[in-house]
A and B are shown apart, each in its own frame.
Chain A
Amino acid sequence: MFRPRSLSGEVLILASLTLAVALLVNGLRGQSGLDLGRDYFPADTIASESEGGPGDKAEIGEDSGKPQHGYTSFQLADAKDYQQYLDDRDGVIFLDARSAKLYEAGHIPGARLCHHYRQDQYIPAMLEELRAADIVVIYCAGGDCEDSIQLATDLVFTHGLTQELIAIYEGGFAEWVDAGLEVRNGMQP
């Protein structure tokens, strides 16, 4: 058996082996693997390229590192009066940008699953509906979670939705639960 004598030789073999195994396993994962060429953080990229963002408003937050967005905000007050919010508007669509596992464990009633990192599985089937909606409200876990902003950026810059169509629920699912609002379990919206 070949045994490298130099330290750099050992490091090179380990690095090559790691690369080969990681790429192979990622490929075998199929849709649950990562797409190596895809930008999963488009809001950051746009902000850094334009010193603006969606609609010249997004930028990287200096304090939190979370992209500050230029979308309309869905507020806690709206959440507390959820039914009224829906009644006042035609064609409101809620998108849950979290994973299927988290969605199944609990989500905002009526929200559709659209996991940001697996969005190709969900968006094509609902794209026309999203374009025709009055408003698309996107949320994720809340707190430091920025998946809702990243998904919104993809919807605008990749799928052609207008920025005005989108609202971000910054408080996210954590705030919804903390407010004691109704939660639905399972995979049905």
Chain B
Amino acid sequence: MKSPALRVIASVLGLVLIYYGVQKMGEPADFLKSIHAYGILPTQPPWLLNLAAIGLPWLEVICGAALILGPLRRGAALLSSLVLAAFTLAILVRSFQVMGADGTAFFELAFDCGCGSGAVIIWQKLLLNGSLIAGTAWVALRARPQ
């Protein structure tokens, strides 16, 4: 990757990913509960959900570091965009569930998405995630093997 702009964008994305990864590491049980609440992964076999809870924060941190440092940048960008897309879809689905359950308007929706930052305003979170997905996908497409 020769472009300074790409390098700067990759570094910013990397820092954001590291921040969110570290936020989720404090109490593994809390993140486990968050993943379980989405109902994306089955509770059986248990190791699947448990492994996701201990692995995803580290995936964010390691991909974030790779985005900043350079080697493996393409792979890190691709993995990050896929994980972010899966999480964003899950947040969207849960948003519709909450709206359907208690009639909250979309722009007033706020809940703890398990993203490591407590309760958040959902439309803002979706916008942020959309930007991160676009950014990481762009880096994945533009970066060259180093």
Query: Which A residues form the contact surface with B (CB < 8 A)?
Result: 1, 3-5, 7, 9-15, 17-19, 21-23, 25-26, 29, 32-41, 44-45, 48, 63-65, 99, 115, 117-118, 144, 147
- Chain B interface, number of residues (Cβ within 8 angstroms): 36
Contact across chains for B50 and A13 when beta carbons are under 8 A apart: no
**B12 in contact (CB, < 8 A):** no
Q: Compute how far the CA of A23 lies from the CA of B54 in the bound complex, rounded to whole angstroms.
A: 8
**Subset of 23 A-B contacts with CB under 8 Å:** A1-B71, A4-B75, A13-B72, A14-B62, A14-B66, A17-B62, A18-B62, A22-B58, A22-B59, A34-B29, A34-B53, A34-B54, A35-B50, A36-B50, A36-B51, A36-B54, A37-B46, A40-B29, A44-B43, A45-B43, A45-B44, A64-B101, A117-B29
Q: In the complex, which residue of chain B has the Cβ closest to the Cβ of A42? A: B43
Q: Which residues of chain B (1-60) have a CB below 8 Å from chain A?
A: 27-29, 32-33, 36-37, 39, 43-44, 46-47, 49-51, 53-55, 57-59
Instruction: Give the dominant DSSP class at B's interface.
Output: helix
Query: Which B residues form the contact surface with A (CB < 8 A)?
Result: 27-29, 32-33, 36-37, 39, 43-44, 46-47, 49-51, 53-55, 57-59, 62-63, 66, 71-72, 74-76, 78-79, 97, 101, 140, 145-146
Q: In the complex, which residue of chain B has the Cβ closest to the Cβ of A65? A: B39
Q: Compute how far the CA of A48 lies from the CA of B58 in the bound complex, rounded to whole angstroms.
A: 31
Q: Output the least CB separation between B78 and chain A (Å).
A: 6
Contact across chains for A39 and B46 when beta carbons are under 8 A apart: yes
